[in-house]
Structure formats: structure tokens, C-alpha cells
Structure 1
Amino acid sequence: MPLTPILTAHWDEADSHTLEGYRRHGGYDMVPVTFGAHPDEIIALVKESGLRGRGGAGFPTGMKWGFVPQNDGKPHYLVINADESEPGACKDIPLMMANPHSLVEGCIHASYAIRANYAFIYIRGEVPHVIRRVTAAVREAYAAGFLGKDILGSGFDLDIVVHSGAGAYICGEETALLDSLEGRRGQPRLKPPFPAVAGLYAAPTVINNAETIANIPTIVRNGAEWFKQFGTEKSPGFKLFAVSGHVQRPGIYEAPLGTTMRELLEYAGGMREGHELKFWIPGGSSVPMLLPEHLDTPLTYEDMAGLGTMLGTGTPMVFDETTSVVRAISRWIHFYKHESCGKCTPCREGTFWLDQMLVRFENGTAAEVDIDTVDDICKQISGRSFCALGDAAATPYAPALKYFREEFLAGTHTPADQLFDPVAATVFAGAAAR
């Protein structure tokens, strides 16, 4: 499939992040049109478009908006989850750097639809340059009259707050994000009640990913049928695919959902010279890995689920034959152990033991019985933890064991660094040597 530069169409312009650069291509032109429609019409439009959340779960956006109760006498809130902390994920940060006004305008349309007068953009605290850029865009929107009181004489009020995250992966979980926004330690909440009913400050709240909301202005401008011409019936639209790893040209490629990994690899220049694909991960480290034989499977929510994995954030990581699967899994488990909030026992204790045992495999000091022990621990975590972080920690091991069991057996007698030279696995190590 050909690339579809829509959100990324003007990223190469030096002023793409400014109000002037955004308005030059029709930015904010549809805000008066939205204000002239009934809020329910905007919700219906997004439902009809079939837009699914771009943060990982792929939940239908319009349906989520429709869950918000109306005429309940409570304030409503829109919260943008831009706490991009998943290992391997890098799509929202470049989007906010190059085109922050698409996010701001999306907030206006979405807030009007769900009758929210306050929106919060929660950005990962480790990226202050992004926070500054989005803050500048919000300031420009206020100055131009697109935010504040009685916007464009419509009678609709909207204030946007840009919030610096707490520096924790767990705050990417929507209810932990809400606790962080309220000034508490970021820990997941028990559901139900769901945020649409009792979210921020116990009021109805919609939480959407940054890329999801950035899509809204294009749908309002061009219509649902235009949006559905891209992608597939169950996964319509286009996606920012951030390809990283052992490829010639890592980067962001905007393409229709249904594009294959083989096509993305071609756009990325193929594997680095002299190397072959060993395995790849379609959407961040929390989804099961796939093999070269899966390269021609369409990158859609339903097709990835058919392979036993997930599209996730749509940020494929590509690994060649120099990569130690044991070392990769060990690094990911260490990350999840470090980022566990400690609220529930399966995740808190399970990730600790997983980390300790995988270190043995990496050091070549494991016993063969440890292979089944680790598998058993993963099963005790999966589906039993308070939120999806536990599931994410337990996910990588089973497919790695299925496809590369011999590497774990080797971990009972030989360190991973002897089997796979860490320098050789470094991205562009070969080019650096030349």
C-alpha cells in the first residue's frame, strides 16, 4: 500500500508547529462548523468513521464518547494520554513536536462533542521540549480566540491544561493517569466505575490517546466515508507506524491500516546491510513477538489478534540475527519490574521473580527446570494483576520460548554475551565499524 501522509503531510515545513503554519493548510477552519452542529452529531460522525483508539487497545472512539452520561449536572472532562513510555513506542512525541495544533484542534472538537469545558493534555515528564511546544501551541490558540470563554461567539467555553507527567510508565494506564492528575501517586483504580462515569474528580471523563485526537480534525473536515476509504472494514483509517531497530531508515511512516510489515520494511530500507530478520514486534514490547513468516499479515487490530499478538501502539521493533532473545526479554522484564507500582501482589512479586530468573538465563547459570518455572510465574501474573502492566510483563516470554526455546536451553550453560556479541547487536554497529 502507498504511504498516506495526512497527519505527517507538512512535517517537513519549518513552521509546521506554529499557528500560522497550521492554519496555512486549513487548520481550525472546521471549528465553526463543529459549533454549528449538535454535539451528538459529532459523536455520530466519529462513530460512523470507525476510528479506533491509537493508544494500544483499539477501542472504538465514538463508542467511548457515547458512554458519557448527559444532563447529569456534573462537569465533564477530556484527558489526552500523551504519556508515551512503552519501550519501542515513539509516535506521539514526534506528532506533538511537529504538529501540536492538530492535537489542540482535536481537543476542541472532542470537548464540544462530550460537553466538556476542561481538557487536560498529560505529557510524559521526561520530554520537556515536547511540553514546551504543546504549551506554546495552546497559548497561540488562546490568543487567536480558539480557546477560552465564548469561543468564536459560540457560547462554548474550553480551557486546556498541559500537565507534565510524573515520570512513571504506570501513568500511561488511564486510571493511574487520573490519580496522577489529581496530585496523588499514580496507581490504577478498580473498575467499575469506569472513567466515562466517574473519572477525573469523580466526574464523567473521556481519556483518548494523542494520535487518536489528532485524527478528529481530518474526520470533521473530510467526513466518515473519506476516512473509511483507508484501512479495512474493522480497522479503518491510517496510522503512524514508528519503525525502529535493525533497519536502514528507522522512522515514522504514515500508512493505511492493513499495510503489511513487509511493506513497512521496504519503506524503512530493509534490514541493515548483511543481516537478516530474526523476529519483530508489531506494537511495543508488551505485545507478543512475530517471525519473518508473519511479514505479509496485514497490520490491523483483528489480523494481529488472529496471530495471538496485538497491533498495540503500532510501533514495530525489528531485530536481526545478532540479537539474543534471552537478553531482549530480560531487559523488557527488568523494565516492567522497575515500573510496577507495587499495588497488587501478582505484578509486584511476579515481576521481581521473573527479573531474577531471567538474569540467570542471561548469565548462563539457569537450570533447565527454570524454563517451566518462569512459564508458571507468567501464568500466575497474566489475568490476575490489577491492571495491564502485569499482563505486559508476562506476555513476551511465552512466544519467545515457543520460537526460540534453544536459546533458553543455552542459558543453562552459556552466557548470552558469549552467544551473541552485544556490540554486534547495537544498531548501526556495522556502519560504525566501517
Structure 2
Amino acid sequence: MGRKLLLEHINEPGINTFDVYRQKGGYRAVEKALKTMSPDDVVEEVKKSGLRGRGGAGFPTGMKWGFLAKPEGVPRYLVCNGDESEPGTFKDRFLMTHIPHALVEGMIVSSYALGANTSYIYVRGEMMPQIRILEKAIAEAKAAGFLGNNILGSGYNLEIYVQPGGGAYICGEETALLESLEGKRGNPRIKPPFPAIAGLYGCPTVVNNVESIASVVPIVNDGGEEYAKIGIERSTGTKLISASGNINKPGVYEIELGVSVEEFIYSDEYCGGIANGKRLKALVAGGSSVPILPANLITKTAAGNARLMTYESLADGGFQTGTMLGSGGFIVYDEDQCIVRNTWNFARFYHHESCGQCSPCREGTGWMEKVLHKIELGHGTMEDIDLLWDIQRKIEGNTICPLGDAAAWPVAAAIRHFRDEFEWHVLNPQESQTRNYGLAHYADPLAPVVQ
């Protein structure tokens, strides 16, 4: 059984309340930071930990904090990105639902480290139950003296507000989130300047993911060096994984980074193997935006090494033979799944969620959806497969924000690894139209965690 840092007390009755969370050691990190550490000390511990952003990019959190500008007389802000919207990803929603005080405590410690006196948690607008849960947790923390003026007699003041999101996937991009938080249309900004220099209301701002901020708590409690001992290479600590698809035990799991992909899929501690005794066909390891991998590249890299649940191992071989850990949206496909149909389903999502600001994304995502749908229905040609490849190539790298890349990468990988399946649809139009393919099944995001 791997070590648990965030979900250690997940099955404790009432862990969502302040009293039970406090009984289990909650808010010790706030006491330690405010009473015995300077803001720079906290930043240094996060740097030592090697924590990387858990929202998808994997950028070193301590380094990101170190970029924050500190001009005199100008406020600084911490914004938590809770706009979890990527298909197959639901671990942040789970954390906010069941252990909201872990996020609130992380917000207090992180805000102190950054010198922020006003901080925001931006939560996807459809997640109203989670918004209410967080608002209650914030009120409980404030009533206990952990928020407000002169917290624990330290002289540090902080208020945290929860902001419902604009109901758009694009608002998960940090600058679009800031635009939405300011009451504007959620269009990504051109960078530079970066948020660390000119973010919310033009002031220095750090935007971090829910899991990233919650992870600051065990880092402060145990020390950055102890946290860095967990994991392997530059993938330190633990990671929450949203596991769904054709597996026996879908749910949210906390793993020590470095577990093999094979163990994660087949171990009873985690996914419990492929459902109904079927064979593994493919895997999306980090949410819908990362390249799909066929079965032969899932358990071993192209070089023959064991494929591990780490940033480095999953990316081994680049996009030719590798993928990304991403947001941890782990979707498993069995032998009966249609790659063309699942790729079309993702393309529909990205076409719908494009903000329309960049023409390659605005037009290209729509054409990818149309061409994929045409092939799926048995009306495609071999030239359509080449057209799809050309469209995705002209989207990638040509947009203001990464949504264009996120839409292009799954299509490119599907054609790269499963071109024969696309060709089958073209060569067998009648069977393609009548065969009852199913989309991979997704887990209930709020299902109880499986330990």
C-alpha cells in the first residue's frame, strides 16, 4: 500500500468538517508556518520538495512562486484554479467535496508564503455543491481564527473568496481564468506579461491547481526534503489519479509517483484489471488532451523500459512513442472500444469549448470534428485521414493558449498509432454504419474512493 498524504483520512467520518479535520492534525501547517517560518522559508521548502504543478503542465511550483514580482505598495494575489473541466479528470472535484479543509489550509499557507492578503478559489460554475462546501469550510476556518485579521496573533491578514466559474473549459487556462475573475469574457491573454508580473487586476498573481495547493500542507508539516524522498527522479511526492474507462475499480487514487503503469492498471490496490476479462487496447494517461498510447507502449517504453507513472517515463520517446501525465485523467480502453469514435467524441468537446479567439483553433477544431464524424459514420475516404493529419498539424503551436494543442494531440496520436482502424472505417462503410461501438465508460466523479 503506497503512502497517502492527501487522502490518508478520506474514510474518516466527518473529515469534511473543521472539527474532525482538526482532530486528525489539520491546520498544523498553518500554525507552523505563521509561528515559526518566514514567507521565504515556506517558499524554500516548496522548492526543496520538487513539487510540480498538478493541473497538467507539471511546472515546478516553487520556481513559479519565485517568479512573483514584489513591487512596493502593490497587492499580490493567489488564485486557486478549481475549474476542472477536462474529460476523464475529476480528482480536484473529489478533493473539494470530501476534504475541503485540505485546500483551505493549503490556501492559507500558500497565501502567507506569497504575501497575498486576498485570495480566490475559482471553481467551475457547474460545481455548485462543491462551491457551497468550500464556502462552509472557509466560514468554519474563519470562526476558529485561521482566517481574517491577525491570524493566530501573527499579524498576518487573509480573506479567501470562492468564485463560480464561467462554465467554459477555456477558463482553466490561467490568463482566461483571470479575465473571467475580473468579470470579462474568458479569453486567454497574450503572454508576456505573465501573471507573476501582471495578473489579476494587473497585479502580481500566482495561479495554482487545487491539488498543488493542497500538497503544500504535507510539505510544510514534514519538510520539503522528506516530501522529495517520495517518488522518483524529478517526479516527487504523491499524485491523485482519476481512473475511469473499462476497468474493474474506477475511482480516485493517490499514488506514489514511480508506480508502474502495469501495476496501476492490474493491481487490486488500484484499478483491479480490465473489466469483464477483456484485453487492454489503449490508454489515455493524463486527460483527453494528451496523446493516446496503444497497448504495446503502455507497459513498456519503446526502449524496453518499464513505463512508470511519472512525468519523465510517460513522456519517454516524445509524442512518437510516449504521452504525458497531464492532469491525471487515466482512461482505459478495452479491445471493443472504437478509437475513431472516442477521438471524435474528444474533438466534439474541443470544438465546443474553443473560445474562437484564434482562427486555427476556431476553424480547425470544427473541421476535425466534422471529418472524424464523417469517417466514423462510414462516409470517409483515405484522403480524409490525410486531411485530418494536415488540420491538426496546422493547429498545433499556432494559438495563443494550449487549447489548440490539446485538441490536435489526441487526433495526431490516434492516426499515428491506429491508422489501420481509420482505414477500416473507410474500407468497410456498411459495417461501420451499423456496428454498435461504445464510448469508454466514465466513472462517477463523486464515487467513493477505492483504497
Shorter-chain TM-score bucket reads: over 0.9
Within-5 A mapping of 1:411-430 = 411-412=425-426, 413-414=428-429, 418=433, 420-422=435-437
Deviations 1:99-129 (A, max 9, x none): 1111111111111111000110011111111
1:204 and 2:204 are equivalent in the alignment: yes
Determine helix, strand or coil for the equivalent of 1:16. Answer: coil
Runs of 4+ in 1 over 4 A off after TM superposition: 415-420, 423-428
CA distance in 2, matches of 1:425, 1:223: 41
CA distance in 2, matches of 1:415, 1:98: 48
Change over 3 Å in CA distance of 1:223–1:403 after alignment to 2? same
Within-5 A mapping of 1:348-427 = 348-412=362-426, 413-414=428-429, 418=433, 420-422=435-437
Determine helix, strand or coil for the equivalent of 1:372. Answer: helix
Q: 2:351 aligns with which of 308, 326, 337?
A: 337
| 8 Å contact from structure 1 (residues 245, 319) kept in 2 | yes
Determine helix, strand or coil for the equivalent of 1:306. Answer: coil
Change over 3 Å in CA distance of 1:370–1:423 after alignment to 2? closer
Unaligned segments of structure 1, at least 5 residues = 429-434
Give the match for residue 235 of structure 1: 235
Within-5 A mapping of 1:165-180 = 165-180=165-180
Identity %: 49
| 8 Å contact from structure 1 (residues 323, 420) kept in 2 | no
| 8 Å contact from structure 2 (residues 244, 442) kept in 1 | no
Q: CA deviation at 1:416?
A: 7.4
Unaligned segments of structure 2, at least 5 residues = 300-305, 444-451
Determine helix, strand or coil for the equivalent of 1:319. Answer: strand
Change over 3 Å in CA distance of 1:357–1:140 after alignment to 2? same
1:15 and 2:3 are equivalent in the alignment: no
Q: 1:297 aligns with which of 307, 327, 332?
A: 307
Within-5 A mapping of 1:20-419 = 20-35=19-34, 36-265=36-265, 266=267, 267-293=270-296, 294-295=298-299, 296-307=306-317, 308=319, 309-412=323-426, 413-414=428-429, 418=433
Determine helix, strand or coil for the equivalent of 1:385. Answer: coil
Q: CA deviation at 1:425?
A: 5.9
CA distance in 2, matches of 1:368, 1:417: 15
Deviations 1:218-261 (A, max 9, x none): 01000112111211121110111111100001011111111122
Q: CA deviation at 1:3?
A: 2.2
Aligned residues: CA RMSD: 1.5
Change over 3 Å in CA distance of 1:424–1:302 after alignment to 2? closer
Deviations 1:329-370 (A, max 9, x none): 001001000000000111001111111111111111011111
| 8 Å contact from structure 1 (residues 322, 425) kept in 2 | no
Deviations 1:14-56 (A, max 9, x none): 2011101110111112323211321111111100111100000
CA distance in 2, matches of 1:168, 1:423: 26
One-letter amino acid of the structure 2 residue matched with residue 326 of structure 1: V
CA distance in 2, matches of 1:389, 1:262: 30
One-letter amino acid of the structure 2 residue matched with residue 105 of structure 1: E
| 8 Å contact from structure 2 (residues 338, 439) kept in 1 | no
Determine helix, strand or coil for the equivalent of 1:393. Answer: helix
CA distance in 2, matches of 1:427, 1:40: 42
| 8 Å contact from structure 2 (residues 337, 438) kept in 1 | no
Determine helix, strand or coil for the equivalent of 2:5. Answer: coil
| 8 Å contact from structure 1 (residues 84, 172) kept in 2 | yes
Determine helix, strand or coil for the equivalent of 1:312. Answer: coil
CA distance in 2, matches of 1:178, 1:126: 18
| 8 Å contact from structure 2 (residues 88, 442) kept in 1 | no
CA distance in 2, matches of 1:116, 1:343: 32
| 8 Å contact from structure 1 (residues 322, 420) kept in 2 | no
CA distance in 1, matches of 2:107, 2:92: 15
CA distance in 1, matches of 2:125, 2:375: 34
| 8 Å contact from structure 1 (residues 78, 116) kept in 2 | yes
Instruction: After superposing the two structures, state which structure 1 stretch, 148-157 or 412-421, moved more.
Output: 412-421
| 8 Å contact from structure 2 (residues 124, 166) kept in 1 | yes
| 8 Å contact from structure 1 (residues 327, 416) kept in 2 | no
Instruction: After superposing the two structures, state which structure 1 stretch, 167-176 or 220-229, moved more.
Output: 220-229
CA distance in 1, matches of 2:432, 2:236: 43
Q: CA deviation at 1:217?
A: 0.9
Using structure 1 for the length normalisation, give the TM-score.
Answer: 0.95
